[in-house]
Amino acid sequence: MTATRLEGTKLAQEILAELRGELAALAARGVRPGLGALLVGDDAASAVYVRSKTRRCEELGLHHETRRLAASATTEEVLAAVEDLNRRPEIHGILVQLPLPAQVDAQRVLDAVRPEKDVDGFHPVNVGRLLQKRARFVPCTPAGVMQLLARSGVELSGRRAVVLGRSDIVGKPMALLLMHADATVTVCHSRTRDLAAVTREADVLVAAIGRPGMVRAEHVKPGAVVVDVGINRVSDPELARELLPPERLSEFEKRGYALVGDVHAPQVAAVASALTPVPGGVGPLTIAMLMANTVQAAADAS
């Protein structure tokens, strides 16, 4: 058995195409959604993510701004930048790119974003609404995973789902969304005993642990659907040869690194019924859901 690839790129384009109708309706009322991104420091991966998001804004015709602060910025300086975006009526959604430098109090910064502009869904008000199954904005990566499963015809009601990882950004909201879809959900983490025995119970396994190639064949129930949320930069040639298919090794040799997921794709593809690739799986859907949340924020504000 070779797992079906659950490609996110095509599905993301479907979502963006659907948004164009909403954007046309808003434009007829004189409303142009705006996204303000806040980038602190010079983290290369963060800069790439922000550029990808702003490119999607340009494709859709959204107003977008990126505010850059030095890596030495204080919490108060970052809070001041957030408050400026909060006050601006042309900015409907605010994206604070994580991670923030160590000296910045990330929780204070995320709490400072107005809930109605919190298109990442990290403000306590929006977290509470998600918990109560009346969400305004759902965190973009878990929302993208749910779109992927729904649009790929994966049944969740009554199924066993396991989420590997318990972060506020992915793991916890992912578990809530799966629960809301009537799956029976288990959350695993670094203290879970006999991890493989737990993950092998999953009909749907979502890996968001941040460790390259950690999920192997022994972790997966035959026929399970496996969603790989991880994005890890690998520069070790031995690990790259283990995790990458032959057609991607030339990419590694050219660049000196490659992006891989939390799933050992060559092993798991032989066991699972379906598997998301990295890159090209969940990532494009994350950005599509950010665009959807920004459009929703503009519609709500108008």
The one catalytic residue in 10, 13, 42, 53 is: 53
C-beta of residue 238 within 8 angstroms of C-beta of residue 260: no
In whole angstroms, what is the distance from residue 112 CA to residue 107 CA? 9
The four Cα atoms 138, 5, 154, 122 give a dihedral, to 10 degrees, of -10
DSSP-assigned beta bridge partners for residue 93? 35
DSSP 154-201: ---TT-EEEEE---TTTHHHHHHHHHHTT-EEEEE-TT-SSHHHHHTT
Choosing from 97, 147, 267, 296, the catalytic residue is 97
Answer yes or no: 97 catalytic: yes
Question: What residues have CB less than 8 Å from 41, skipping those under 6 apart?
Answer: 69, 70, 71, 73, 100, 101
The residue from 120, 203, 228, 262 that is catalytic is 120
The catalytic residues are 53, 97, 120
